């Protein structure tokens, strides 16, 4: 699936930022919100930010407190993204995707489906067959979830995005009911696939244009700024 784009998008640039050390969640959200505001004003390029977080749980707008099984285990952050509880931590590649939907069709459902298609294409590049499941958001391998998706859209600019389980401690998910599901979670490591984060990042970049449309990509900047 190719994401909707207007003719003007062919000249646009998506900046890729990669952090190699864990970023505090509150700091990441502050940077992401500032960047999204700048994109909405036409003052910054669209952006994909790849990073990891220290161990934590986040509660989306549909989170049920009963699904937080171990509230004292890790810090818990309320967040404006859609969805329920999820876990972030080392060994999980988080991709914060900041795109301007005012130039991409203003279709949030299509955007979420594009994120799923991107994860499936990335997994395929890494030798893993991912798939959607009816009635669920995210990407699965068999019955187990390997990638979660939660987004927020403000002034038609997207925030938050996807988290791909590369080699996290899967036991850390036991403190919540991830995304309200009783199904298990898995990872590239658990499946015996490649887990080198540089290879994962390369696969994410190589498959992005095929889903979201071909466009020039800026050089990496190791330190994000709004």
For the annotated catalytic residues, the residue numbers are 179
**Measured torsion, CA atoms of residues 25, 28, 32, 35, in degrees rounded to the nearest 10:** 160
Hey, what are 36's tokens? 């999204």
**Measured torsion, CA atoms of residues 21, 163, 1, 133, in degrees rounded to the nearest 10:** 160
131-143: string of b/e by CB count within 10 Å (b at 16+)? eeeeeebbbbbee
**Is residue 167 a contact partner of residue 126, using CB atoms and an 8 Å limit?**
no
**Helix or strand holding residue 71 (H, E):** none
**Helix or strand holding residue 111 (H, E):** helix 108-125
């Amino acid at each position: 699936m190719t994401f909707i784009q207007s003719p003007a998008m062919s000249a646009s640039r998506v900046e890729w930022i990669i952090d190699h050390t864990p970023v505090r969640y509150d700091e990441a959200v502050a940077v992401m919100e500032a960047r999204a505001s700048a994109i909405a004003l036409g003052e910054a390029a669209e952006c994909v930010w790849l990073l990891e977080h220290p161990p934590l749980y986040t509660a989306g707008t549909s989170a049920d407190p009963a699904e937080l099984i171990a509230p004292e285990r890790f810090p818990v952050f309320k967040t404006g993204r859609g969805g329920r509880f999820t876990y972030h931590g080392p060994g999980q590649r988080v991709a914060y995707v900041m795109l301007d939907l005012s130039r991409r069709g203003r279709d949030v459902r299509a955007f979420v489906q594009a994120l799923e298609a991107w994860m499936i294409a990335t997994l395929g590049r890494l030798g893993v067959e991912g798939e959607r499941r009816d009635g669920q958001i995210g990407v699965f391998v068999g019955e187990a979830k390997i990638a979660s998706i939660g987004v927020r859209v403000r002034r038609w600019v997207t925030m938050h995005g996807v988290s791909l389980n590369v080699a996290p401690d899967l036991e850390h998910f036991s403190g919540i009911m991830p995304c309200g599901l009783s199904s298990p979670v898995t990872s590239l490591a658990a499946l015996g696939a490649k887990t080198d984060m540089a290879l994962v990042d390369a696969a994410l970049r190589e498959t992005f244009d095929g889903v979201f449309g071909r466009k020039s990509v800026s050089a990496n900047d190791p330190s994000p700024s709004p």
